[in-house]
Amino acid sequence: MNFNPWTLFSDFCIMSALLVLGLILRAKLKLFQKFLIPASLIAGFIGLALGPNGYNILPLSNRLGTYAGILIVVVFAAMPIGDKPSKKQLSGPALGGMFLNVTGIAIAQYGLGMAFSLYVLNRFWNLNSGFGLMLATGFYGGHGTAAAVGSIYKDLGWNDALGLGMTSATVGIIGGIIMGIIIINWGTRKGYTHYVGSPKDLPKELRTGLISLEDQRHGGKITVSSICVDPMAFHLALVLLASLGGYYLSKYITSIIPRLKIPAFCLSLLFGFIIQFVLSKTDSLKYVDRYTISRISGIATDYLIIAGVSSVKLSLVATYLLPLILLFSFGFLINWLWFLWVGARSSQEDWFERNMMAFGHASGVVATGILLQRVVDPDLKSRGMEDSGIADIFNRPIIIALQVIPPLLLVNGGMWPHIVTWVCIGAVIVMLFISKKLHWWNPSAELKVYNCAKSNFENQQQVS
């Protein structure tokens, strides 16, 4: 198929139709509602089954993987623009514990995933040195990070990384939601939940994805006059300006130093901070609505998931099937042990609710964490979402470094895979030691029980 602008148009139209179909299926089928599967993921599976990597019924092009690599540039460009955390938000006694929780598990996934691949899986299969990175790439990072890391590895000569990363992200989201619901049911039986007695208490809008008329709200703030420019076009222009700057700077650096390949998504983040700085210094930040910027990022993420999942080659998954199953099983075991040993003891109040936010974050990105927290904390009283978001502000440089630096080092072979592995594991040990000294984490603490939640759950079981 010859690629031209109409091919691009057709691909996005088809993905849009799949997204609408995914929303309808989520709203109508109890199975998708029970496990809270996102509409974009449903759409991605349909695209995979009916697209060029499946039965080839839908006239999708073979550029879907490329779209994922482009859309992640947009997602990163949007991160800093319009973000205005207050000093009050950047402080609080529970923030250190949440920083340990969401940052430590990310580094642990990188280090332990690499160790499991190098010292266990490689005894049976001859795997790429970066195979162990696929755990954290998909689980903590999600489809966006999978696209980013996949694009890095593609430039370095390992084309399988994108498909493996997308597979990891898909398994992470689905497995994270299913395992999260199981943990919530376990927590309610133990009396650990504070605000709800069962996942059955989840609001209908979260199960179906459709918001009732009386609960619908306006999406965003109008900050510029539509007579001059459409507000959405203005905000999109800011994001695309940062994206373009990152793309061209990446190409320019490579043209000067061919061996130095800095991913466009990293540099688009840099330009996003530059635009944020200019807006702040010119007193123009008041015309930027962060909610609208977040919606643009959300749109890019939805299409990224559809394109990424649809582009996965099933033959690739079949080739790596057994080591992938073992790696993913090991990943969920890490998340569960971290939940019990670290997360459960890094918050003095509402530990279960706040920990569900971190568990979801570690299994299937931030959106999964928010979803699981809202199951156990519908009114968001525990501040798990807020403190996790603030912790992400501080750990963002660490996470970006983990996305970019290890692939560049691992491709050199030799001792580098082992060095990367033990540096990450050592970093986690140091974090735990410092957190214990600062009282962010108390490994000997008893898990607090809220008997009211346990009683509610038992009553509901008797009624049913």
Per-residue b/e over 375-384, b at no fewer than 16 CB within 10 Å?
bbbeeeebbb
What DSSP string describes 413-463?
Answer: -TTHHHHHHHHHHHHHHHHHHHHHHTTS--TTPPPP--HHHHHHHHHHHHH
Q: Which of 6-15, 30-39, 285-294, 349-358 holds the top average pLDDT?
A: 6-15
3-state DSSP: the chain helix, strand, coil percent, rounded to 5? 70, 0, 30
Q: Say if residues 110 and 406 touch (Cβ distance below 8 Å).
A: yes
pTM (two decimals): 0.75
Classify the C-alpha dihedral 47-50-56-60 as positive or negative. negative
Q: Under 8 Å CB-to-CB from 395, ≥6 apart: which residues?
A: 99, 102, 103, 106
405 vs 423: CA distance, rounded Å: 12
E strand or H helix that includes residue 464: none
Lowest mean pLDDT of 1-5, 325-329, 457-461, name the range: 457-461
Provide the pLDDT confidence category of residue 118 given band limits of 50, 70 and 90.
Answer: very high
pLDDT given at position 454: 47
Q: Which of 98-102, 152-156, 198-202, 429-433 holds the top average pLDDT?
A: 429-433
Q: Say if residues 219 and 294 touch (Cβ distance below 8 Å).
A: no
Residue 157 main-chain phi, psi, to 5 deg? 105, 0
Extract the tokens encoding 328: 């993913």
373 vs 361: CA distance, rounded Å: 10
Extract the tokens encoding 216: 């619908």
